[in-house]
A and B are shown apart, each in its own frame.
Chain A
């Protein structure tokens, strides 16, 4: 396809889309699919035929709408009527009432309008609205026009300048300036150059990247192609967890489709630029998300990090310059190219531009996938979007950043979400997990849980992480089992500062966060365990026989 054909194709698709009076979007991403969305989809398809409305009503299989707690979720356009917990039986009723008779069924509609009010969906703009398995759907909403614009009207250096000026920072967690990273790789004279899209979302409780891949895979591919053009790469890899079968399937199909219309492959969009993408499957290793470990894994080795420098920008895959970006970062790229860097830098807070996707889970009334502008406070996420804590329990802490993030107490709820504020408070942005804890969650147990995870996932290469975390887990288990001493707390703190300072990679350096933040903000609770031999939260893992059986070595 050539750029001018792309425009025509988009117009035709839009016309086709508007030729239907109604569109039923059935969320079939992992969460909803687990709970029968595919049967619901089939029921809708059968129902529109049964009622003879297939000419005016399109039934589409889409990605995540965001309200994962009330899946399967179904949204009907026009009017964005969102039905919750739809069953195949309900599907028939919805078609007869809503589509045929024009009367939405009020009792089954999602009633919580606050969930969407404070969100700003730019990366997830088309999630839940387009069919991820149909590239034409992506083209209809302007897909690949950013790539066309970059290839035909911009020099590679101009593309990098636009990304730099936008202030976009890496969404994988560390928040490095994306433009600067691209520049490093672009400047290298060594060839070939590689680009790696990081979709190794190994943090338990986080599913933002997966949802993006399942809902809008072409936005990732388009971002990769633009990045490749900017840095002069001809080969890209998407590294995705094998635990995400639907994401893998969706991306594979997207790559195939993109090749048929020359968005990938030789002569992209009829220009001299060539770029190919291959998928690489992870195999369940949290540490593989670290940038040097991901390279080892793609090369077929154990995912063990190595010291830097040399940075991957200088010596990455097979010793060649390699750009590694998170998929959410890449999905932002087409938008910046299309709308300009000034548009992007106006979104978010003055210190940090753009939005961030989070999976909101734990003790919250509205768990799901959300996207908020940078600078939104944690309180707004917990109370306005999340709707507070269920069952009338009391809010205790919010865990930001996955297993190596930090537990922040109530008085930190006014903290704006951006890289620097979170790091200062002891948490990290991470890949985007927010878990709400209530007064029934024991903070020592929580710290033990995450430390246990990090011990399990430590690659074992460097001593502070391998031995230090194991020791820390033992101390925590001791406290939970009733054998804790007051001096343990100081020991724990010292050990964790050491792990933070001298571990080789991000895993060991951030694994200390859950312990350090709980020690800092919830020291009382530790002391209650040690002195009074009581767990204020009443966790079943504290002070029982099974608790003693935990790894105390």
Chain B
């Protein structure tokens, strides 16, 4: 079982690891708590890298391949570190019908970044999501946790430039 003093782990002991350890303990290291534990890990670290997944695998006595399989199966888990600012485009039906794909394409061109990736300087990541449930205000984009409803490409590009400090 992995503990804070585990010599084989490359994980630095800090607040984030403490909350992960606490989650493992709360779930009594049960194998079927894997999803819950991964949720906590992502909440603390912001993403799941190889070290984190290996750590969880060891703690729950699961093959690392199983943990990797679960983490990659679910869209919610992020395996790469996101950029300093994040813009997420809703590609749910209502937003798509109202042109969110067009806005997204224009943002990709403007900031030279592809969906699911970050800009070279690491300042901006562009993600997509399937429905945030604000369909009545479609199309929507989330810029650093603020929802921009009834979006247009102009309004979104302007807002991104604002938060990025361009």
**Contacts of A123 on B, CB cut-off 8 Å?**
none
Tell whether A324 is near chain B: CB-to-CB under 8 Å: no
**Contacts of B70 on A, CB cut-off 8 Å?**
300-302
Specify the chain B residue showing the minimal Cβ separation from A207: B133
For window 112-147 of B, CB contacts with A under 8 Å fall at: 129-138, 140, 147
Given contacts A243-B76, A283-B38, is CB(A403)–CB(B93) below 8 Å? yes
> Which of the segments A138-146, A226-234, A357-365, A489-497 contacts the partner chain?
A357-365
Scoring A residues 1 to 33 as 1 if CB is less than 8 Å from chain B, else 0, what string do you get?
A: 000000000000000000000000000001100
> Which of the segments B2-10, B16-24, B28-36, B156-164 contacts the partner chain?
B28-36
Whether the Cβ atoms of B92 and A281 lie closer than 8 Å is no
Whether the Cβ atoms of A205 and B36 lie closer than 8 Å is no
For window 184-214 of A, CB contacts with B under 8 Å fall at: 202-207, 210
Scoring A residues 514 to 553 as 1 if CB is less than 8 Å from chain B, else 0, what string do you get?
A: 0000000000000000000000000011000010000000
Whether the Cβ atoms of B76 and A68 lie closer than 8 Å is no
Interface centre among B32, B97, B134 (most CB of A within 10 A): B97
Please tell me the size bucket of the interface on A.
Answer: 35 or more
Option from B36, B39, B97 in Cβ contact (under 8 Å) with A441: B97
Whether the Cβ atoms of B94 and A368 lie closer than 8 Å is no
Tell whether B49 is near chain A: CB-to-CB under 8 Å: no
Q: Give A441 to B74 CA distance when docked, in angstroms.
A: 30
Specify the chain A residue showing the minimal Cβ separation from B74: A283
Tell whether B69 is near chain A: CB-to-CB under 8 Å: yes
Tell whether B105 is near chain A: CB-to-CB under 8 Å: yes
For window 353-400 of A, CB contacts with B under 8 Å fall at: 359, 361-363, 367-368, 399
**Contacts of B131 on A, CB cut-off 8 Å?**
203-207, 243
Whether the Cβ atoms of B149 and A34 lie closer than 8 Å is yes
Option from A206, A243, A359 in Cβ contact (under 8 Å) with B129: A243
Interface residue tally for chain B (C-beta within 8 Å): 39
Tell whether B111 is near chain A: CB-to-CB under 8 Å: no
**Contacts of B133 on A, CB cut-off 8 Å?**
30-31, 207, 210, 243-244
Whether the Cβ atoms of A359 and B135 lie closer than 8 Å is yes
Whether the Cβ atoms of A35 and B94 lie closer than 8 Å is no
Whether the Cβ atoms of B97 and A302 lie closer than 8 Å is no
Option from A71, A202, A303, A403 in Cβ contact (under 8 Å) with B137: A71
28 contacts across the A-B interface (CB closer than 8 A): A30-B132, A30-B133, A31-B133, A34-B147, A68-B136, A69-B136, A204-B93, A205-B94, A205-B135, A207-B133, A243-B129, A282-B74, A283-B38, A283-B75, A283-B76, A285-B74, A299-B32, A300-B33, A300-B36, A301-B70, A361-B94, A361-B136, A367-B94, A368-B136, A435-B97, A449-B96, A459-B73, A546-B105
A residues neighboring B (CB under 8 Å) = 30-31, 34-35, 68-69, 71, 202-207, 210, 242-244, 280-286, 297-303, 359, 361-363, 367-368, 399, 402-403, 433, 435, 437, 441, 446, 449, 453, 459, 540-541, 546
B residues neighboring A (CB under 8 Å) = 30-36, 38-39, 69-70, 73-77, 91-94, 96-98, 101-102, 105, 129-138, 140, 147, 149
